[in-house]
Structure formats: C-alpha cells, structure tokens
Chains A and B, each alone.
Chain A
C-alpha cells in the first residue's frame, strides 16, 4: 500500500531532512513512526500525501508514484489517503456535521447523500450525538474524532496521522487509538507518527519505525532486536 524506496529529501537551507529511507507498509498493516523532534517524521508524512516530492528515490502510495503524479493530479491520491493532524485543523464556527459534510461536498458527493453519509461517519467514530455541536463546544478527543470522520469521508485505503494524540489526555488518546485499531481491523493501512512512548509500549504488536536525523534506524519488522525506544527517552514531535 505504501512503498518508500531509497528516499532522500533535501532542502536548500536545512540540508537533508530524509536520507535514503526505505520501507513498505502492506494493506491492513498498522505502524508507528517515531523519532526525535526534527528526525524527519513530518517530512516523510508530507511526501506520503505528496504535499512535497522526494529529491531522490520514489514514494508509491495506493499505486500513485511520486515520479508520475503531478501536482495537478494529486487530488486523486488524496481521495485514497486520509490525513489526521495533531491540531485537528477543523473549520471553526462550523458544527461537527458541517466539517465532515464539507469534505464530502468538495469531493463531489451529491447533496442528497450528504446527511446520511455524514451521520454514518460520525457514528463510525463514536460521535452520533454531537453532530450539531460547534467545534469549540467539543473536547479535544471529540474534535480528533470529527477530524478522523472527515479523513474517512472518501473511504481511504490509507490513514496517515501526524501526532494525533499529541494534544489529548491519556483517556482520549486511548479512545483515538482504539478507533484507529478498529479502522485497521476493517482493512485500512495506518501510519501514525507519535513520540508518545507509553502509547507505543501499550501496543507491542504494532510495528515501529524509528527515524533519527532523517535515517531509518529501526524497523521492528526487519529485526528481532528489542525495541530501542523502550530503553531510551524520546522527546518532541
């Protein structure tokens, strides 16, 4: 579902943000992407939904290659990939329902389908009763659920999440993790960037990819070594 082949991303001033990174993520696979602040997690996620392109190497997501997909065509990939942020990025002044319906509407869903589909999505993320609540009336956990419902609007094959629990308390974080696990069980591939060690420790069955200074230094799928993160302290996003 995701193939990252010897990817390097170099910025004119900052230098190399990613350096020869390679890994694959299969259909219905769940992986944590972890590392220090500035290790390249966010850059990698940007390349995966083609907000940016690699300097060298190739990124392939849901069959879309970074070498062939132009900026004009990126929207086709975006309809196959859901994205969730640490700060939710919901539209203020709109209700939970309107935020989800917005994603459906701008991708061409007929108006008559908007309400039933939005209701279904909000039920899927466990928020059927909050459809009419304005964004600021929702708790952090609830806002992240609305953002997830929005990311699911186009029935994506892959869910990318950048520190989705970063702004949530432990209970809300667990809730979001359970939601992601459910989606994953349903067949969705999930790649979740996080620096929350407790969370990673709590799910020992989930694959871990660790970046340090733009290099992939650990992949639990390719080594039997114990998870280095359990012995170290990782800070920042």
Chain B
C-alpha cells in the first residue's frame, strides 16, 4: 500500500516527468504497434494468397480414365495432398466460358475442344510451400500421359521470401524500439531517484529495508510503462481506423497482441526501473 501511495505521490510531485516518460514509452511502443499492424496484415494477405496455392496436372487427351484414376489415388496417398479434383475437357470448356465471357464467341465457334483435362491438387495446410509443391509436381510428372504440371513455382518462392523478410524485420525493429523504450524508462527512473536522493538516504539511515525503498520506484516504472502501452494501443487503433477509412481496409491485430503489448509495456517499465535502482543503490 505504501509503495502504491508513494508511486502515485511521485507522479503528483513530478507530473511533467511522468507524462514525458510515459509519452516516450508510448511513442516507442506505438512504432512497435504500427509495425505489428503492418506485419499482421502482411501475414493475413500472404495467408490468403497461400490458401490458393495448388498444383494443376494437365493430362493428354489419349489418357484413359483408368490411368487418371491411378494417378489420382497415388497423389491422394501423399501426405502433402488434401484433395484432388478431376476437371474433364468439357468441364474445362464450361469453366472457361464462365470465367472468360469476353471470349464467348470464340469458344462457341470451336469445332474441337482445345482445352486439356486436368487434375487440380489441393495441398494440406503446412505443405503450401516450395518443397511441398515440388514433391507433388515431381510425382505427377513421372506418368507419361501427363502433359504438363503447373504450380507457379516463382511466386510460391517469392511468397515465402516475403514472409521470412517480414518476420525478421518485425523481430529486429521491434527489438530495437523495445531497447529504446527500456532506455527511456531507465533514465526517467534515474531522474526520479536523483530527485528523491535525500529521502532515500534518510530511509536507509532509519532502517527501511531495500525492498521497501525499491518498491515505489518499481511500481512507478511499471505504471509508466503500462500507461505508455495503453497510449500506444490507442494511437495504433486510431491509425488503423484512419488507414482503413481513407486508404484501404485493414485487419485489426488480435486482442492477445494488444494485451501482450500493453503488458509488455508494464513489464518493460518494471525491468527498466529495477535496472536503474540496482545501479543507483550501488552508487549511494
């Protein structure tokens, strides 16, 4: 109770300093928040594209239905494959007419259906990557009645590179700003400690325990970090709304991320002030 009272009293005694350090923490965490928002939306977008990763096996016109069935069964036995769908030549033409209405006349005047039959192979989650796609394509290519296998290897590769870059950038930039936030809190707490050095001296002299002396500062740091975290979450949400309304729709980051960010702010405040106090106690 004393610690909480003192922490609040400290905020009252030096409101400008508290507001300043909370604002700095908020700024640092806001950048982390913005980056989180961007990273999450990139992840979502890539996920949507990834869902569409499929392998299409085109079969020759002279392939018998029995041969095609054998291939379908073999593909289905692979762990990477979730489902297969046979698209006959006729079905391919119907689909082409639906999908490409601008070529309707062209398709109507045809004497012979030029489109090949195909097997659409859906991959299971976790296998929509370059390795999974290549394994399925390799297996299908063995059969002589398979004319071609398409799976867009180039963009599958690019997709994964993009995801990896996104992950690394989040870690590096997030980490850098977290360090900045920690430094700011440490400095703010050291200033607070300096401003109250006489009090700390008297406390030590009359026999207050080290824990008793530390607690209000730890709490002050945690509160500053928490307020900074909440401000950052608010700013991030406002930015999300502005971008969603004015530029393009975005997904809001999951609640757990927000909670982790705000709690992280508080935790940062706590650790940073613990660090500052440790150094200060050694000095006085």
Residues of A within 8 A of B (CB): 49, 72, 74-79, 83, 89, 91-92, 102-103, 105-108, 150-151, 153-154
Contact = CB atoms under 8 A, between A and B. Distances in A.
A91 B13 CA distance: 14
A150 B199 contact: no
B164 interface: no
B2 A105 contact: yes
Interface centre among B202, B205, B207, B209 (most CB of A within 10 A): B207
Interface string B1-20: 01000000000000000000
Contact of B207 (A75, A89, A91, A102): A75
8 contacts: A75-B207, A75-B208, A75-B210, A91-B198, A92-B198, A106-B203, A150-B202, A150-B206
A194 B49 CA distance: 85
A74 B206 CA distance: 10
A183 to B, nearest CB: 16
A151 to B, nearest CB: 8
B208 A107 contact: yes
Interface string B196-218: 00110111111111101100000
A203 B106 CA distance: 125
Interface in B82-138: none
Contacts of A108: 212
A92 B202 CA distance: 12
A75 B202 CA distance: 12
Interface centre among B202, B203, B204 (most CB of A within 10 A): B202
Contacts of B203: 106
Nearest to A105: B2
Contact of A91 (B199, B204, B209, B212): B199
Interface centre among B201, B205, B210 (most CB of A within 10 A): B205
B214 to A, nearest CB: 12
Report, nearest first, the 7 A-B pairs whose CB atoms are least far apart. A78-B207, A79-B207, A106-B208, A103-B206, A75-B207, A106-B203, A75-B209
B208 A72 contact: no
A78 B206 contact: yes
Nearest to B200: A106
B255 to A, nearest CB: 40
A153 B206 contact: yes
